[in-house]
Amino acid sequence: MQSVLEQTYTNWECVIVNDGSPDNTDLVAQQWLEKDNRFQYIYQQNGGLSAARNAGIKAANGEFILPLDADDILHSDYLNKIVPVLESNDRLAIVSCYRYFFIKNRTNIIKEYKASGSNYCDLMFENKLMPSSLFRKQCWEQVGGYDESMVKGFEDWEFWLNVTKRGWEFQFVPAFLFYYRKSKKSMLVDTITNHAEANMEYIFRKHQDIYCRHFDNTAEVLFYYIKTHRIGKMQIKNSIEYKIGKLVLKPFKIVSQLFSNKRNSK
């Protein structure tokens, strides 16, 4: 909220969405409403990230939308440099920027990310656009908002694909204007660890029109994943640690088999 308040571009509104948080979000939000009348507040029963974004965007009066997660930070010139780019090009649906990854505070930068691309082909196999990219509300209306069935993540990737496959383009401003907080536990970490394959399958099937249109590229990527997975399994099986583990566990397996045979013979 502070990074929003510090924007050098002043013609903004900020919709705070409380998606059924069990903490003191309500009290904190009220403090920001008292600080500046450009803040407004919505409470709803927990429906997930997509539902929260859709609720906030529906309430927004602006022509352009910028989703912002609670733990990330905008550079003070973010809107000042991004908004004019989107205003000046009618072909653009989305404008993003380079970003920093940080831990705990934004002076502790651990990684820089520079992306490129302009159309849906650049997004089919990798989500290069960060969630906090500026886009036209018109596009959100066109695709029917964020997919609220995607409660396990990647909803922003699906949204960008849904928008750009209709002919819209996107652009990156070559400046570091966004700070993305890295943490050991987060929704993104959980998604990548436990739900990445299922979410990718959902996206591939939902937008099979573009993946079938680019069948050769799709096949190449999928077979690359299969090959990488197979090589990884072979490397594990051939590792010293794996072989030692098998030797250590072998007596336990023999004993377990003897007890199993004894029970079956009774």
- Dist CA 11 CA 87 (whole Å): 14
Rounded to a whole number, what is the distance in angstroms from the first to the last CA of the chain? 70
**pLDDT > 60? residue 187:** no
Give the start-to-end residue ranges of the domains of the chain. 2-213, 220-265
The residues pairing with 180 across neighbouring beta strands, listed in sequence order, are 101
Res 196: pLDDT: 85
Tokens in use for 190? 């959980």
pTM: 0.84
**pLDDT > 80? residue 211:** yes
Q: pLDDT > 70: what percent of the chain? A: 86
CATH number for the domain running over 2-213: 3.90.550.10
User: pLDDT band for position 195 (50/70/90)?
Assistant: confident
107 contact partners, CB below 8 Å, separation of at least 6: none
Res 126: pLDDT: 93
User: pLDDT band for position 234 (50/70/90)?
Assistant: confident
**pLDDT > 80? residue 258:** no
Which of 126, 121, 129 lies closest to 216, judged by CA?
Answer: 121
- Alpha carbon of 82 to those of 21, 96, 117, 169, 246: distances in Å? 31, 7, 16, 15, 56
